Amino acid sequence: MQLFSLQGRVAMVTGCNKGLGQGIALALAEAGADIVGVSRQPADDTRQQVEALGKRFYSVEAELGHHSPTEIVNQAIAHAGKLDILINNAGMIRRAPALEFSEDDWDSVIDVNLKAAFFLAQQLTKHCIERKAPGKIVNIASLLSFQGGIRVASYTASKSGILGLTRLMANEWAAQDINVNAIAPGYMATDNTQALRDDPQRHDEILARIPAGRWGSPEDLAGAVIFLCSDAARYVHGQTLAVDGGWLAR
């Protein structure tokens, strides 16, 4: 259906060399978008899969939190000619009891998960406004945008911040035809949850609470991200869509 087509659009996806980011990049490519992948390491596997779908893949190697968001966006535009979509997916997590949590672990997570996401969104929006073109921003939030969690102070703060910034950016940029929304994945089988899945007690506790009865996979985000990046979501602004197997409804 044309309403969900991303043909002719260019999507920048951060952290797309594996996991959720790779799944998102492939979903957008299947819907017709060319992809700019921003990763610390070459995303060769993602490139091969995107190109197998007949779409272009442009690589920007950068470490969020260290490289300038302006420089990253400028490189992306130089490669692809334009940007229409930004997926703020890249993220990191540090685990420790709150009484022992270090300042370094706080700063490193906030810089990547929150600060970099905001300034990449800012640069994408400036680019779209200059082109007088619509834009789509999808931030990857978390169940911990809604809940406190344990032993992940900076991650919880960053993902709660993403929910708030999604609303703030929507308030300011909706009138410029920029849609800003977020997706809150549930417990997904990725590197970020490896420690939880390796802990038999935590694994079983988590699985018992998921109404769908299973951990999620990157492919489970495909429909939500295509919807939010497509014309079907033109009047959707400032929302955070949980894709969580029913976790928050429990």
User: Which position among 58, 155, 187, 235 bears the catalytic label?
Assistant: 155
As a whole number of angstroms, the distance between CA 39 and CA 230 comes to 24
Catalytic site includes residue 187: no
* Tokens (6 digits) for 238: 């400032």
Q: How far is CA 153 from the centre of its chain?
A: 20
The alpha carbon torsion through 147, 119, 231, 225 (nearest 10 deg) reads -40
Q: CB–CB of 10/25 below 8 Å?
A: no
Yes or no: say if 143 and 242 are a contact pair by the CB < 8 Å rule. yes
* 64 phi and psi angles, rounded to 5 deg: -60, 140
Distance CA 229, CA 235 (A): 12
Cite the active site residues. 155
